[in-house]
Structure formats: structure tokens, C-alpha cells
A and B are shown apart, each in its own frame.
Chain A
Amino acid sequence: MTEQQPEAATAGGDVRLTGIGKTYGDFTAVQPLDLTVPQGSFFALLGASGCGKTTTLRMIAGLEEPTSGTVLIGGQDVTDLPPYKRPVNTVFQSYALFPHLDIFENVAFGLRRRGKKDVKKQVESMLELVELGQYARRKPHQLSGGQQQRVAVARALINHPQVLLLDEPLGALDLKLRRQMQLELKRIQTEVGITFVHVTHDQEEAMTMADTIAVMNAGRVEQLGAPADLYENPGSTFVANFLGQSNLIAAEVTGSADGDLLLSASGVRLAMPKARCATDATKVYLGVRPEKITLAHASATGDIAEGRNRLQGTVVDSSFIGVSTQYVVRSEGGQEIAVFEQNMDRDIRIAPGAPVVLHWNPAHSFGLDAAQAIDAGTGEAAA
């Protein structure tokens, strides 16, 4: 692999999409969007099925013609180039390995098409990289799903593309293998230094692998940022619900003090940092992640430190899942709130039916405009 690195590193691999959009008749698959993927980064397009992420990827590959806008790869305008003239390669969903060619010929396909004569050494070292050296003469259907997936990656990477496009490459694998392949892909990406653009509907996969995630919804990019940034500061209810789980509490802004916004949620006084509120509206959702909330039995209210947000409620349900226990608490306002507690000092009094106080650091709250649907992005969040 070392001999392949210089070529990939010198070639500019940043992808710049400007005003790119796609419509099919009346249906808009991708709203005109601008997106820049920096050279050498691992970029994820995350969204539910039908959100336009795959169409966007296919427009970069040249397999779909954009209705508007331009695609630049490494500074070169490739909008009008056919796929076979673009410096990108794709790992397809379900791999699309050529069934009539053996593994060696599948991997050698791209090199041969570009007139490379001596492909044996390159193909062999590529198959070593993905640990499939002894399978060179097998046919694709004789390999397991995980092995086929690695062939698909090898077949694309051997061409040293400036950009590698991955279309849900791990979707067909079982959970354990998927985790293993995530790390594998991340390792390969670090090793070869090529720009990866990865399409997925699995938020955990996107957060594990990507440097930057673009969350897509209904043909638009909802929010773009580093995984931790998106998780801690979601800009919309869709992102808040789609990435992990969020409790969104409807509240009204009543004032501000020391950089904090003071809120009232059906009479209960809460606070959050002004900087973490994504809107100027007075009607907002206060969001808080389930793992940021601490549960205390109602009789232990006195032990809670001053200045924390508090909500009273009753435990409706609890499920023990090993590292943590997940509770569902019904607040005074009647809203169900999810709480994840690490299993350290379990208070056995906290069981379904018990009166409890939920409390959290106001700095762990985020604010969203209440004009949005509160349940946007929940449907596919578990997928």
C-alpha cells in the first residue's frame, strides 16, 4: 500500500457541490444544495430512506444527471463527464460484483480498463490488504457477505480514486460483522488517505466512522458537523431525534439572566444557556439527552444541588440492559421522558410507580424552535 499513497495524496480529493439538485418530474429528490467535502476526510450522508442521500452520491459518481448545479472534484468540473471518466469509484449497495468473473478479475477490472498491463502484483497486494489473498480464483457467489463486501472495497480502492463513494456498503451484513467492517473501513481510510463519502441510514455507523456528517431529510441537508457537535447541539427536532434520542419539553421563554435563558414549562421553571438555543422564538423546545438526566427518589429531593433543572414525575417503566437501566418517567405535565442511568449505585426504590425528581445541569440542555414538529425524525431513528 505504501507505494500507492503518494498518488492518492497528491491528487486533490475535495468534492464541491454547488446548487446541485435532482427532480424526477414533479418529485424533488434533492433540493439544490451546496456541500464541500474536504480532501482526505471521512464524510457521511445520513438520513432515512428516500431522503435523497443516495441520489446525491450517484450524482457525484456520474450515475445520475443533476437537474441543476455543478460537481467539482479536486477543482475539476466533472458535471458533464460520464462515470467512466470521473476520478471516483463506488462501493455499491449489495456490492454489484461481476458474477461471471473471479475475485482476481473483479479487482483487476478497473486497472485493465485503463490499459494497465502488469496488474498481478497490484491485485495481489490489494487482496492482501483486505485479507482475501487465498480467494483470488473463487467466484463472488462462493464468498460470504463480509468477504464480498471486502472485494467490493478492494475493487474500488485499487484504482486510487480521488474520492471513494460508499452506498450503504454495510447494510446487508449482520450486526457483529457490521461493527467489525466499520473499524476495518476506518482503518483503510486512514491508511490510504483517500476522501470517503459514505451514505448510510444508520446513525451509529455514521457517528462511529465519519469526521463530518451531513444529516439529510426530505432532499435537504438539515445540519452538517462533527458527530459530537451534531449530537450535543442539534439544530432541528429532526436531527435531535434522528441522532440518538432526545427529550423535547415544550416551554416558553420568560426572561434571561447571566447568559442563561429562563423558561417556564407548564409552570415549572427551567434554564438553559442562551448560546445553546438555536432560535430567538419565545415558544421553544428544551431538549435534553436521556443520559444527561439523573433520577432521584422524591424523598431525596434535599440532596440535589442548587441550580439544576428539576422535573417531578412518576416512573412508568424501567428496563435493565446491563451497562445501564432505561427508565420512562411521566412528568407532571404528562409527558413521557426517557432517562438512561448507568448501573453504579442503584436506588432500589426507583421502580415503576415510584415518585421521582429528574434533574440535570442546565448547560446540558439545548433549545429548538417550537414551530417544528416535535416528533420529526423519530420513525427511522432506531433503524
Chain B
Amino acid sequence: MSRLLKWVRAHLVVLAGILALAYLVLPNLVVLAFSFNKPVGKFNYEWSQFSTDAWTNPCGVADMCGSLALSLQIALLATLGATVLGTMVAFALARYRFRGRAATTALIFLPMAMPEVVMAASLGTLFLNMRIQFGFLTILIAHIMFCLSFVVTAVKARVMSMDPRLEQAAQDLYATPTQTFLRITLPLVAPGIAAGALLSFALSFDDFIITQFNSGPTTVTFPMFVWGASQRGIPVQVNVIGTGMFIAAVVFTVAGQWLANRRKARA
């Protein structure tokens, strides 16, 4: 008994880790498994037969790959816009004193704090009143807006924690303000910018609520497609895309870790 207790005590952390991992990964494994299913009827909820149909013909469903392309396009542009704007806002807030700074600092958190559906509806109303045609542009503007606060938060933390003497040292060593920014400031803040950009991409890619309220009749993003399809039965190909995204995320994370470790070991 006491030996068992000892074993449990020694391995409790590992056990908890495995359980947490299972909790996180099991849904993805179910998605993976059902991407090889050949469902009977419209719904892909019950296992019937193994098949690679969906994998060999991922774009076989009408409009699905088009919506995927649109989502990727919006996510990339939103990430770019939010990262550039957010980085500039973060620097302004961290470095300068100006009128309205306190208000900006508070307001920048609003998109994170506000219920998404409220923000989505009010944005939709705004676009409507301004007579802006709903479509690609409105979705993009909405996405940049809600991604912005995440980028600002990530970058600002990084800028604030940076030793101001590093930039002074660069200037002391003949670097002009531009050179100082490009060679010292930017590389040191880069991890914050990267974190903000990754978050933006993920948030924009899978956003449904805000997109739903601000899209036009021809702009159907991937989450909107899945939602629409779920009424009639989700095609197996959605599982294929889901699995693909999951694998891409895992590869990305592992590669990042590996690179960081290698850099640490080499340095």
C-alpha cells in the first residue's frame, strides 16, 4: 500500500500532465478518426466504414475550398494589418506621453473584454449606417480591429521590459535612431510581435460571430461554411481540413521549440 502511495506521489505530476494532454488532444483525435469514415446518410457522427475518399479528394465539396482560401486570405491580411498597426500603437503607448494616452490604454482592451456578439452587431450597424458594402473589406476591417488589442498587449509588454540602456548603448556606438531601431529595438521586441501575429492569425481564421455579422452574400469564410454545412450534415472533408490545421499547428510549435533549443544549445 505504502509503496503504491509512494509511486503515485512520485508520478503525480506526470499523471496530471498526461490527463491534461488527453483532455486537449482527444477531440482532435476524434476529428482525425472520422476523417477516414464513410458515413451512411448525411451525418458523420457514427462510424461505419474506413475510407480515404475525403483525403484523396479534399476539395470535392462545393464551395468548401473557396471558403478556406477566403479565410486564409483574410487571416493573412488581418494579421499583417493588426501586427503593423498594433506594434506602432504599442510603441506609442510604451514610449511616449501624450494627451489621450490613458484613454487609449484602457480602450485598447475593450475588444478583448466586450462580448463578441455585441461588438459584432454594433460594427454591423456602423457599416450599415455608413452605407459601406458588406463583403471582403468589412470583414477585414472587423478582424484587424479585434486582433489589434492582442498585438498591442503582447508587444507593449515586451517594449516595457526592455532595458532602455540597450538603445542608449547603440546610440553611443554611432547607431543613428533608424539603425538603433532596426538592429537593437526590433530584434529584441520581435518575440512579442511574433506572438501577437500568431494570435491574430488563429483568432481571425476561426472567427465566426463577428464575421457572420459583417460579411456580404458572396463572402463565406470557412467557419461560416462549416456552420452552414452543419445544418445539412458536415462533409467528411471538413475533418480533413481540421486535421490538416491541427498537424500544421503541431509542426509549427515543435519546429519553434526545436529552433529555440538549438539556438540555446549553440549559443
A residues near B (Cβ < 8 Å) are: 61-63, 82-85, 88-90, 92-94, 96-100, 102, 109-110, 113-114, 138-139, 142, 155-156, 159
Residue of B nearest to A138 (CB): B267
User: Provided the pairs A98-B166, A113-B179 are in contact, do residues A159 and B174 lie with their beta carbons within 8 angstroms?
Assistant: yes
* Mask of B167-196 contacts with A, CB within 8 angstroms, 1/0: 011111111100100011001100000000
Q: Kindly state whether residue B46 has any CB partner on chain A within 8 Å.
A: no
Residues of chain B within 8 A of A89, CB atoms compared: 172-173
Q: Which of B175, B183, B267 contacts A142 (CB 8 A)?
A: B267
Q: Which of B169, B170, B187 has the most CB of A within 10 A?
A: B169
Closest partner residue, chain A, to B173 (CB atom): A110
What are 13 A-B residue pairs whose CB atoms fall within 8 Å in the complex?
A63-B172, A83-B172, A84-B172, A84-B173, A90-B168, A92-B169, A100-B187, A100-B188, A113-B173, A113-B174, A113-B175, A139-B267, A142-B267
Give the Cβ gap from A91 to chain B, nearest Cβ, in Å.
9
Asked if B187 contacts A109 (CB within 8 A), the reply is no
A92 touches B173 (CB 8 A): no
Residues of A within 8 A of B168 (CB): 63, 83, 90, 92, 96
CB neighbours of A99 from chain B (8 A): 166, 188
Q: Which of A62, A109, A155 has the most CB of B within 10 A?
A: A109
Q: Across the interface, do B165 and A114 meet the contact criterion of CB distance under 8 Å?
A: no
Given contacts A96-B163, A102-B267, A138-B267, contact A82 B187 (CB under 8 A): no
Would A114 and B174 count as touching, CB distance under 8 A?
A: yes
Contact among B163, B165, B175 with A109 in the assembled complex (CB-CB below 8 Å): B175
Task: Please measure, in the bound complex, the distance between the C-alpha atom of A142 and the C-alpha atom of B188, giving whole angstroms.
Answer: 18
Interface residues of B in 25-59 (CB under 8 A from A): none
Smallest CB separation, A368 vs chain B (Å): 39
> For chain B residues 98-115, which have a beta carbon within 8 Å of chain A?
none
* Distance between A197 CB and nearest chain B CB, rounded to angstroms: 13
Complex CA gap A383/B173 in Å reads: 31
Taking A88-B172, A102-B267 as given, write out 7 further A-B residue pairs in contact, using a Cβ cutoff of 8 Å, ordered by the A residue number. A83-B172, A84-B176, A90-B172, A96-B169, A113-B179, A138-B267, A155-B173
- Inter-chain contacts of B183 with A (CB < 8 A): 109
